[in-house]
Structures are given as structure tokens and as C-alpha cells.
Amino acid sequence: MPTNEYCIYLRKSRADFEAESHGEGETLSRHRTALIALANKQNLSVTKIYEEVVSGDTVAARPDMQQLLEDVSAGLWKGVLVMEVERLARGDTMDQGLVAQTFKYSNTLIVTPLKTYNPNDEFDEEYFEFGLFMSRREYKTINRRLQRGREASAREGKFIASIAPYGYKRKKLDNDKGYTLELVPEQADVVRMIFDFYTNGTEINGQIRRLGIQALASHLNNLGIKSYRNDYWQKETIRDMIRNPTYAGYIRWGYRKVQKKVVNGKPTTMRPINYNEECILAEGLHEAIVSKELFDKANAMLDSENINPPVRLNKQIKNPLCGIVHCAKCGRKMTMRAGRENHPTYLVCHARSCDMVSTPLHLVEERLLSILRQWLDYYKIRSAESSVSAVDTKPIENAIKQTEADIERLKKQRLKAHALVEQEVYTVEMFLERSKDINDEIDAATAKLENLHSELSRLSERETMRSEFIPKIEHLLEVYDSLPNAEAKNKMLKEVLQKIVYNKEKAGVANTGSVESFELTAYPLLPETLD
């Protein structure tokens, strides 16, 4: 059913932010007042205002714009009020095309103080697209100026990025524009330790040993030293720190250039790391943490190591529980350690900071199959009980009818509010407040309606889901031992299992025939539909 409702879209431009910094007043407030006045003048019923507080240049960086386009595409609005068409799209031609097509296909008007655009009118469409084109040109000009300014600042040794690397904090320059870096003493000591241990080594068990990047990460974790984000140190973090010339007193800019690609018909942005890529490298204004000689030595050693071996695409799964079993202590996925000679294959947690006790893989596998047999018995009993007494869906169906009636009543109240503002019984401010309250109630009722429909669907589908799940478990237990390899077993297990949590506190004696004291907690793939 066609709508007669309008909305307002407000967005700050970069020029608006600059104007506000010079004391020209809050932009969105001024624009909101102007567009409300325009709506009153043209007797347009405004029921929602989208306010974009971020300054993103692309649609992907503007969540309110994304929501607006989604609502426009759904036909919620007869028109959108905006100060100028340039506020809608200023990104690349794909963004502009997306905006233009969304408004055209939904037959949604674009209302500005100067002109109302009908995207399905030939002349208005051309005028609208020309406005977007000129906006794009202005955006590219501004962006080029910004990039040139950033490059010039980098060549002057200033720190351009928004987040300082570990060991530093940003510091505003005293007598100049821009920022430099200031040491964080306790973090700087950790950086020096990383470079020293990597190049010269440290004493471990009475011997001097040089630590690789993985060993360094584990060593820092064992010492309880927090990383930049207060989580575990990773080898990738250590590698990036050794590669970062900032620690040697330099400023690097442009080594991770933005690359845009179209994947599955959608534009994506990536910033791949390529340390050999040409970039700006200038002597910084900040204090170095390590010497240039030590930095070069560490990087030469890193270049000589095979830290990123190529991935074998034809790698075959040898562990039937691969990717399923999680450690109860650290949460990481447990792996298989192949046995030698008379020793069995074990299921282990390879996290060096974790003391989880391992167990022979075949014992874990046997325990899991036992759990699946228990599941099968349980779900068969539940299925038999459910078939005896059918679920009464009448209360939910009645609730759906009542909620639908509530939504229609609220919509009539919203139309009445429109009439009152046109009769000047409501001020614009009172109207917007009342309209917001009604819209919130409609949203709540709509959400309730969706939940009721979901519950009704869940109840009606429960038997179907159960009847599908039981045969899966039965078939798995029947053929599991005869499956040709671990990969086939793994595939079948993943069809019925979400995950398995493994826990073992004390070590047992292998090959004694005694029951291993470990715990398995298994989670079915579709528990919410089967309970």
C-alpha cells in the first residue's frame, strides 16, 4: 500500500565540522529546524528523522544512511527531506548509483528547500545525477588535498595515524600543527626486551637461547605482561613490532594502501600488509626505542626465517574430532598429537600457557559415541511424548490477532497527530515528540508480532526438526566405525554437533585399561529446536 509519510535525513559534511569549530553553531540543529519548517510549509507528514553523526564519505561508513536506503527500498516513505542532494551520496560512483537507483525503483521523492526531485522524471533524474556528480568532484578534490597534507606531515617526521604503536602515546606538538610520539616507559622496556631476546637471546635453564617470535609471545604471556589490548600476545603481534621502523625513530606512511575489489557483486575494501611496498619513510620527531643497527639486525634475522610457510591446499584431515573439541580452560580448539611406536595418539591443547591434561584420542572418541547414544534415547522419548499430546497454538494465534489490531490503532493515532499539527493544535516540537512516542510503540508491537510469528513457526516445525535429527544420529552410530577415513567421520559429527568441551584435571596412567577421568560436554547443533 502506498505511503504518504515523509522522513528527514541530516548529515554533517566536513565543512560543517570546520564551521562548528569556528563557532558557527550546531549544524544538525539548524538543518533540522529548516527542514521541519519546509515540511510544514508544504503540508508534508514527517514521522522520522535520521541523523548521521559520523563523517564517513561512503555509504558503508554511514549506518544511518544504510538504514535510510533499506527503508526507502522497502517503500516506507513517499519522500525524503534533505538540505541538498549532496548530503545523500558523496562517495564513489557505485555509491551514487546505489542511492539513485534506490530512490528511482521505490519511486521516492527527494525534497530540498530549492527543488523537489522525482527520480522517475527524466529531467529531474538528470538534474539529480548531475548534483551527485558535482558532489563527487568536490569530494575528490578535498580528499587529494588531505592526502597531500598527510604526506607532507609524514615527510616532516610527524605522526599521522590515530593510534600510537605499543610503547608510545600520541603527543600534540607544542609550536606546530600535528602530533608526535612520546615514550610510555614501561611499554618501551618491553619493546627493548623483545628486540634483545629475538636477536641476542636470554638465559633459560642455564643456557643462552635466542627466542623466536612464537617463543617470545609465550614468554611474555607467562610473565603476565599485557599486550596493547590486554589480551594474549600473538606471534603476529611480535612480527609486526619487529617490522615497524617507528621503534627505530622513523615515520612510515602508505605501506598499507587501500585496495578496493568487487567480491560477489559487492565492493570490499582491504588493507593488505606488504612490507616491501614503496612508502614514505622519514626520520621522525620522536625518540627511538631501539637503535637502527638493532632494528636492521632483527629484520635481517626475520627475513631468513620461514615464519609463514605456504598452506597445503590438499591437506587431509587425520583427526575425526578436528575443529569440534574445545579446551575447558583456555577455550582453544584441541588438536591431535600422533603417537609413535607403542604410544597412542593423544588429544591435546597446544596452548603453552594452558595446563590441560591430554587423553588418548580413541578414548575421547568412544566417550563421545556413548553420549550420542544417550542423546538418541532421550530424543526418542521426547518424540514419543510429543506425538501423544499436540501443542496448542490457539493462545499464540489469538495474541497475533490482538497485536495486529494494536498496530492498526497506533497508525490511526499517528494520522490524527498529523492532522493536529496541520491545525496548529500541536507545535512542531510537540508533534515530533508525539510522533516519536507513537513510532516507538509501533516498533515495539511490530517486534512483538515478529516474535509471536517466530514462536508459532518454531512450534509447528519442532516435530519436523526432531524427525530429521533422530535419523541423523541413528545413521551416524550405525556407520561410524565403517567410515573410510577421519575426514568422513569428522563431516558426519559436524552435522549433529555444535561443539564439545573437554576437561581433565589429573593425569592418568596410559594403557592400564582403567577409566580415564576426563569430562566431555557435548552441544547438539540445533538444541533450541529440539528441547
Concatenated DSSP letters of 158-185 = -B-SSSPPTTEEEEE-SSSSSEEEEE-H
Strand partners, 270: 259
Contact 441/410 with Cβ under 8 angstroms? yes
The grid coordinates of residue 208 equal 643462552
In the prediction, which pLDDT does 216 show?
86
Q: What count of other Cβ atoms lies within 10 Å of the Cβ of residue 79?
A: 24
The pTM (predicted TM-score) of the whole model is: 0.41
- Do 140 and 221 share a domain, yes or no? no
Instruction: Tell me if 386 is assigned to some domain.
Output: yes
Chain CA centroid to CA 153, Å: 32
* Locus of grid cell 643462552: 208
Region of 142 (left: φ > 0; alpha: ψ -120 to 50; beta: rest) is alpha
- Do 143 and 199 share a domain, yes or no? no
Residue 240: CATH number of its domain: 3.90.1750.20
Contact 494/320 with Cβ under 8 angstroms? no
Residues 6+ apart with CB under 8 A from 158: 173, 178, 179, 180, 251, 284, 285
Contact 326/502 with Cβ under 8 angstroms? yes
- Do 463 and 398 share a domain, yes or no? yes
- Of 304, 328, 343, the last residue of a domain is 304
- Do 452 and 515 share a domain, yes or no? yes
- Of 285, 304, 323, the last residue of a domain is 304
- Do 524 and 375 share a domain, yes or no? yes
Rounded Cα distance between 273 and 151, Å, is: 19
Going residue by residue through the chain (531 aa), what tens digit of pLDDT does each one get?
456 789 999 887 665 555 555 455 567 878 887 888 788 788 787 888 888 876 556 677 788 888 999 999 999 999 999 988 777 765 556 677 788 888 888 989 999 888 888 888 877 777 676 666 665 565 566 566 667 777 788 888 888 888 899 999 999 988 888 889 999 999 999 999 999 988 888 766 666 777 888 888 888 888 888 887 767 788 888 888 998 999 999 988 877 665 555 555 555 555 555 544 567 788 889 999 999 999 999 888 888 764 444 334 345 788 899 889 999 888 888 888 887 777 788 999 877 678 889 999 999 999 999 999 998 888 777 666 655 445 567 888 888 889 899 888 887 887 677 667 656 677 767 777 787 788 788 888 888 888 888 877 766 655 555 667 778 888 899 999 998 899 899 999 988 888 899 999 887 655 444 456 899 998 887 644 444
Instruction: Tell me if 355 is assigned to some domain.
Output: no
Chain CA centroid to CA 137, Å: 31
- Of 304, 319, 345, the last residue of a domain is 304
Q: Is 320 helix (H, G, I), strand (E, B) or coil?
A: coil
Instruction: Tell me if 88 is assigned to some domain.
Output: yes
Backbone φ and ψ of 411, nearest 5°: -65, -40
Contact 167/247 with Cβ under 8 angstroms? yes
Contact 47/84 with Cβ under 8 angstroms? no
The total of structural domains in the chain comes to 3
- Do 175 and 119 share a domain, yes or no? no
Residue 40: CATH number of its domain: 3.40.50.1390
In the prediction, which pLDDT does 307 show?
45
Closest CA to 346 of 357, 333, 355: 357
Rounded Cα distance between 49 and 8, Å, is: 5
Which residue range is the domain that position 112 belongs to? 5-150
The grid coordinates of residue 98 equal 546505489
Longest Cα–Cα distance in the chain:
92
Instruction: Tell me if 78 is assigned to some domain.
Output: yes
In the prediction, which pLDDT does 90 show?
59
Q: Is 502 helix (H, G, I), strand (E, B) or coil?
A: strand
- Do 377 and 282 share a domain, yes or no? no
Instruction: Tell me if 428 is assigned to some domain.
Output: yes
CA atoms within 13 A on the CB side of 327: 22
- Do 174 and 139 share a domain, yes or no? no
In the prediction, which pLDDT does 418 show?
61
Rounded Cα distance between 286 and 246, Å, is: 9
Instruction: Tell me if 156 is assigned to some domain.
Output: no
Instruction: Tell me if 351 is assigned to some domain.
Output: no
- Do 172 and 136 share a domain, yes or no? no
- Do 175 and 145 share a domain, yes or no? no
Instruction: Tell me if 158 is assigned to some domain.
Output: no
Q: Exposed, middle or buried, 61 (CB in 10 Å: 0-12/13-18/19+)?
A: middle
- Do 15 and 134 share a domain, yes or no? yes
Rounded Cα distance between 500 and 324, Å, is: 6
In the prediction, which pLDDT does 399 show?
87
- Do 141 and 198 share a domain, yes or no? no
